[in-house]
Amino acid sequence: MMFHQPVMIEETLGMLNVKQNGTYVDATVGLGGHAYGILSRLGGDGRIVGMDRDDNALKIAFERLGNKRVHLAKGSFSSMDRILASFGVMEFDGVVFDLGLSMMQLKDLGRGFSFNSTERLDMRMDQEQSLSAWDVVNRYQEKALEKILREYGEERLALKIAKAVVSKRKQAAIDTCAELAETVSAVYGYRGKIHPATRTFQALRIEVNRELDELGKGLSAAASGLRNGGRVCVISYHSLEDRIVKNFIRDGAKSGVLRNLTKKPLTPRLEEIKKNPASRSAKLRGAEKI
């Protein structure tokens, strides 16, 4: 499962249009799947810089990609400029963002991302960061909680859930993922096909990891570092991310900096979704620097 097929790999590599001797950036190297695909298309003078906020993912990527043409570093893609500069890279021919969580983060015990688990609420991609989901759930004021649930979870019961969380934690801290999931389920009072806590967990993850802010900054850094003719490819997994990517490309096209390569986002083929259900919400968009 670790080395499962990376999401939309053929589509991404095709869109990147990898040049043999080019320099490529994998902004979310994860377990190294996309980087490995790029590496297999590069010639002797080509190179890759990969980054990730997650130490555990990087360790696996190091093992898998160990190659003198691959440079890997721990860090956020919002600081891409600094990371690239540390390897002497000032511009590049292509960059990939595969947003969201790696399989390992989802399945790894102790990371506190999954609502079925009795793990402590955590959700930090970077385990050196101090803010965790526990802090948000147990320390944020009701108003702030409601705002996050509404904006980042697009949760229609944001106010009710925020109130339920605050009243529950007055009795005792909400420590585990399962406790939070139960609190949210009780507000809904029923269970449909999708777990009622799905949107709450998405909202917390976005808040803890500052995901939308990161994405905006990462995309700007990508646009300024790309060589003319270079391409940026982004795979996103929920509508808030996709909107940011779409607007970024639209604005870049308006100001004559980017050419939109995907009027409509590409989505995985049915066979891929069957093999890897986690890919079902993926949307791939791309643009070329002009």
Ligand X SMILES: C[S@@+](CC[C@H](N)C(=O)[O-])C[C@H]1O[C@@H](n2cnc3c(N)ncnc32)[C@H](O)[C@@H]1O
Instruction: Look at strands 226-236 and 92-98 and give their pairing.
Output: parallel
As to burial, measured by CB atoms within 10 angstroms (0-12 exposed, 13-18 middle, 19+ buried), residue 209 is buried
Q: Is 53 in the site for ligand X (CB under 6 A)?
A: yes
For ligand X, which is the closer residue by CB, 80 or 158?
A: 80
Residue 144 zone, left/alpha/beta (φ > 0; ψ -120 to 50; rest): alpha
- What's the Cα-to-Cα distance from 167 to each of 67, 136, 156, 164, rounded to whole Å? 53, 15, 19, 5
Q: Is 12 in the site for ligand X (CB under 6 A)?
A: no
CB of 80 to ligand X, least distance (A): 8
Strand extents, DSSP E, the chain = 23-26, 47-52, 70-74, 92-98, 226-236, 258-260, 283-289
For ligand X, which is the closer residue by CB, 157 or 219?
A: 219
Q: Select the span of 52-60, 138-146, 180-188, 200-208 touching ligand X (CB under 6 A).
A: 52-60
Q: How many residues does the chain have?
A: 290
For ligand X, which is the closer residue by CB, 33 or 46?
A: 33
CB of 209 to ligand X, least distance (A): 6
Q: Is 71 in the site for ligand X (CB under 6 A)?
A: no
Q: Is 205 in the site for ligand X (CB under 6 A)?
A: no
Type of residue found at 189:
G
Q: Is 32 in the site for ligand X (CB under 6 A)?
A: yes
CB of 103 to ligand X, least distance (A): 8
Q: Is 286 in the site for ligand X (CB under 6 A)?
A: no
Q: Is 179 in the site for ligand X (CB under 6 A)?
A: no
For residue 125, report the phi and psi dihedrals to the nearest 5 degrees.
Answer: -75, -40
For ligand X, which is the closer residue by CB, 79 or 185?
A: 79
CB of 104 to ligand X, least distance (A): 7
Which residues, 88 to 117, sit near ligand X by CB under 6 A? Answer: 98, 100-102
Q: Which residues pair with 74 in a beta bridge?
A: 52
Strand extents, DSSP E, 5-98 = 23-26, 47-52, 70-74, 92-98
Q: Which residues pair with 260 in a beta bridge?
A: 287
For ligand X, which is the closer residue by CB, 184 or 245?
A: 245
Q: Given the rule CB under 6 A, which residues bind ligand X?
A: 6, 28, 30-34, 51-54, 57, 76-77, 98, 100-102, 125, 214
